[in-house]
Amino acid sequence: MNARYAVRWAAEHGLPRLGFLALRGMGDPFARLMSGDEGYDDPYSLIDQLRGDGGVRVTRAGYAVFEYELCREILRDRRFGVRLPIDPSVPFPLRRYAERVVLPPNPIEPPSMFAQDPPEHGRMRKPVASAFTPRAVARLGDRVREVTAELLDAMAAHESVDLMADFAAQVPIAVIAEIMGFPAADRPLFLRWGSHVAPLLDVGISWQAHRRAMAATGAMRDYLAAHIEKLRREPGDDIFSLLVSTGDLNTTELLASANVLMGAGFETTMNLLGNAVPLLLSHSDQLDLLRAEPERWPLAIEEMLRFDTSVQMTARRVLEPVEFDGGVPLVPGKSLVVSLAGANRDPVKFPDPHRFDVTRTNAKEHLSFGTGMHGCIGASLTRLEILQALPALFERFPDIRLDGEPTRRRLSTLRGYSHMPVRLKSL
Ligand code: HEM
């Protein structure tokens, strides 16, 4: 089995990785953004270079877009799909063989809704979206409040903590456990699996990272298959039990949906919560404003989503010939990177885009949750989670400070930290 995964890795990641390495050596900004320390640490100056005067950039790895209006248009345009091709420059026999290798269920593999075009997409999305009723989301809100209070109490017993492990990861993992009906004791498993699966969203990952991801997705498949069987016998009052009980999706489709919910719902929120903390601490005037006028928090959270989103990009496949005004003709079959971070820092849409300003009135128009038919199902849940957790953290620990440099994750699609030492009380 490993040999077949190796073929898939070679075609999807190994050869592009070599390509990126060579191009990075020549200073290519796209390769530097997609792989390598510079892109992980400070993507925004590379993004500005790549946006240039706007339009579609033609890169060695396909097309890429960094301009707000164009990103928005493409995400809403049916001439673009989500089933991504293996890079056409990969030799044909390898590509052909790799396309036939079936990986364990994961968020970016069909029948996941992330990887489905209409009509299959609607069939996969509808039952999941319908399970997130306003009542179900409000109930999760109550749970977030409880969990946040418990975590803050536990942290208060220490002078310093790792904010990622002790807080930013714990809030969304508790919410996902609630959505899925998982026992609390299994939470550490999801933390580990989540961190091993996250690199799959990038292009050009190492063989080691791919192997770890395959091992994690395999273990998740076994766990989730048993969980689905259990919920069929003894449904709970969680969202996933509701989804299982409707009978709209078969077991393979339920596995894919569970993967999407776990993949999309946990890592994203954890990283957003983590990114927000150094951002606020390094902009004390903005934090002071929020402390003085707490009613500003909802807009401030939109600005955090705009300024340093945890999902930096997504991708599409060109389905039909397309040509935007004054641009190059886009060739069907090629892939296109949609830089959500680029759209969010486009000066045409957001004047002075590199300034973090919690009073920015159009902050909510960011593209951090995507838009169009694949737009985020969890957007209101995320807002609710962050709105409960973040003000409570700063209220409980008014002297909170970074206690050393936070460690940035080596990922280009998901932006966040792995460790963040913080001191909770002043000495
Ligand atoms: C900071 C938090 C989050 C961010 C930044 C985020 C971002 C995104 C983005 C950008 C997309 C669109 C991807 C594309 O167009 O290719 C998306 C889709 C999705 N999100 Fe989120 N998300 C977050 C939280 C959540 C949560 C908490 C859940 C659920 C528990 C969730 C569930 C989904 C689902 C199911 C989709 C797929 C929709 C589809 O393909 O039709 N997300 N999200």
pLDDT digits (tens, 9 = 90+) for 77-131: 999 999 887 877 788 888 888 888 888 888 889 999 999 999 999 999 999 999 9
Residues paired with 402 in a beta bridge: 422
The structure tokens 């080596």 sit at 410
Q: Report how far apart, in Å, the C-alpha atoms of 319 and of each of 81, 334, 335 are.
A: 6, 8, 9
Query: Residues in the chain, how many?
Result: 427
pLDDT value at position 88? 78
For 339-366, give the DSSP string.
EHHHHHT-TTTSSSTTS--TT-TTGGG-
pLDDT score at 105? 86
Compute the distance from residue 82 Cα to the ligand 1 centre, in Å.
14
pLDDT at 398: 96
Residue nearest to atom 35 of ligand 1 (CA): 377
In this prediction, residue 427 carries a pLDDT of 61
**pLDDT value for 99:** 87
**81 strand-pairing partners:** 317
CA of 375 to the centre of ligand 1 (A): 7
Domains, in order of start, for the chain: 2-423 (1.10.630.10)
> Quick one: tokens of 242?
């509701």
User: What are the tens digits of pLDDT across the range 157-169?
Assistant: 999 999 999 999 9
Does residue 61 carry a pLDDT above 80?
no
Q: Give the pLDDT band (50/70/90) at residue 60.
A: confident
Q: How far is CA 270 from CA 4, 106, 187, 266, 298, in A?
A: 33, 19, 14, 6, 18
Pocket of ligand 1 (CB under 6 A): 75, 113-114, 125, 128, 179, 260-261, 264-265, 268-269, 272, 309-311, 314, 340, 368-370, 374, 376-378, 381-382
Q: How many CB atoms lie within 10 A of CB 167?
A: 24
Question: Rounded mean pLDDT of 330-349?
Answer: 96
The pair of three-digit structure tokens given for residue 27, joined into one six-digit string = 């200073």
Say whether pLDDT at 55 is over 80.
yes
pLDDT value, residue 159: 95
pLDDT digit string, tens, across residues 64-92: 999 999 999 999 999 999 988 787 778 88
Ligand 1 atom showing the smallest separation from residue 340 Cα = 10
Q: Which atom of ligand 1 is nearest to the CA of 124?
A: 41
pLDDT tens per residue across span 365-395: 999 999 999 999 999 999 999 999 999 999 9
Residues 6+ apart with CB under 8 A from 366: 302, 305, 306, 309, 340, 343, 344
The pLDDT of residue 74 is 98
